[in-house]
Amino acid sequence: GVPVNSRVSSKIQQLLNTLKRPKRPPLKEFFVDDFEELLEVQQPDPNQPKPEGNPVNVLKGEPLGVVTNWPPSLLAALQRWGTTQPKAPCLTALDTTGKAIYTLTYG
């Protein structure tokens, strides 16, 4: 027969050692148990700037009419409305006095 050399080259040994290692680190190395920290009430930073102005409230617009053929998604509805009513106002920004300063249209 063929004489067998019991010595393994360093490259093959390095490959074997690499294959023996786990492919992914254990899950607990990624998991940090910070549940107790989340329950603690954090004190605000005294140097943090304070909010200014009045609170912002959402205004309700006109109710939508009952339509039997609603689009399947919000994106489809916006697409349809934008093609049929491109000059209609979509969003209006108000200044601090309540006066409209910017109006975004669908088109």
Entry pTM: 0.32
Average pLDDT over residues 35-48: 77
Domain borders along the chain are: 10-42, 73-106
C-alpha distances out from residue 92 to 49, 51, 80, 99, Å: 28, 23, 20, 10
Helix or strand or coil: residue 93? strand
Residue found by looking up tokens 């108000």 in the block: 94
Which element (helix H / strand E) includes 53? Answer: none
pLDDT at 25: 65
Residue found by looking up tokens 């689009």 in the block: 71
Average pLDDT over residues 24-41: 69
DSSP β-bridge partners for residue 89: 105
pLDDT band at 95 (very low <50, low <70, confident <90, very high): confident
Average pLDDT over residues 74-89: 86
pLDDT at 77: 85
| Identity of the amino acid at 72 | P
